[in-house]
Amino acid sequence: MGVKIVQTAHAVPTKIMTNYDLSQIMDTSDEWIRSRTGISQRHIATTETTSSLCGQVAEQLLQQAQLPATALDFIVVCTMSPDYFTPATAAVVQGMIGATNAFAFDLNAACSGFVYGLSVVQHYFQTNKETYGLLIGGEVLSRLINWQDRSTAVLFGDGAAGVLLKNSHTPHLLASDLATFGDRGGQLTAGYRGGASQMVNSINQIMPYFQMDGRGIYSFATRGVPASIERALQQANLVADQVDHFILHQANTRIVAQVAKRLQQPLSKFPQNMAAYGNTSAASIPLLLDECVRAGQIEPGDVLVLSGFGGGLTVGTQIMIY
């Protein structure tokens, strides 16, 4: 038995913050941001939370499939910005939609989260029993941003997106490549909580905001992502020319262009939506996937490469037939 995507959906906060808006609160400009990142705007949560956005995605997926929540066997939420340490965001969503038969847990692999999640959940479909599950990436990264630091504040946005999965007699996930480089984890951090309780150490060791080595991450992504994709293609006995669409994590338009160049593929195979959403971490890949499906760019039978990279440091690739 394999696994296939039945439905896709996404949800974003209503508030939009443009590059011009950012230029009113920090030393930056629309031209400076767009020329370096390709980002023009991002959605920022006001009343929305990670769980509320993920809940909206879950409800959309069930409504589109005309499936009751009680038919779900599991819910997995990929996030690095949960509402709580506990309960898990997935558990909150499970209660929100009434999926009483589903077990639920969160997965944190930062911007690679959705790809890692696909690799994890496919093992639950090795049964002849009809099985359904939700895999959702959701983030409210605006809580982790220092709005005085233009090197990070201009990059990130909030949102959620996901898929309804079902087991299938035809294999759809063809190959997977996951890699973690924990020795380089300090190049991208957020939410540091310190090593001791305040009862033991009165010094405040909480550092909630993003800290990033931009050059280091760029170098990692432009080399690590093509290498991961090539390893996955080899597993699937495919070459890059046979891929219809490369759905990459939407962090920086320059990174996407470099990956296309290293793979010797036309940029037209690499759809992008970072201009409208910024970097939404674990929500990035499923958000782009949903937009491409809704626009008719992706059709059943297309060969897709999904590839993410980010904090950990992590990189991950899934090759699938949509």
The residues that are catalytic are 111, 249, 279
Biggest CA-to-CA distance, the chain? 59
Please choose, from the candidates 160, 8, 9, 183, the residue with its C-alpha nearest in 3D space to the C-alpha of residue 77. Answer: 160
12's tokens: 């974003």
CA separation for the pair 35, 53 (Å, rounded): 30
Angstrom distances, CA of residue 70 to CA of 88, 143, 164 = 19, 33, 14
CA 29 to chain centre: 27
Sign of CA dihedral 28, 139, 2, 288: negative
267's tokens: 């940029």
Sign of CA dihedral 96, 137, 281, 197: positive
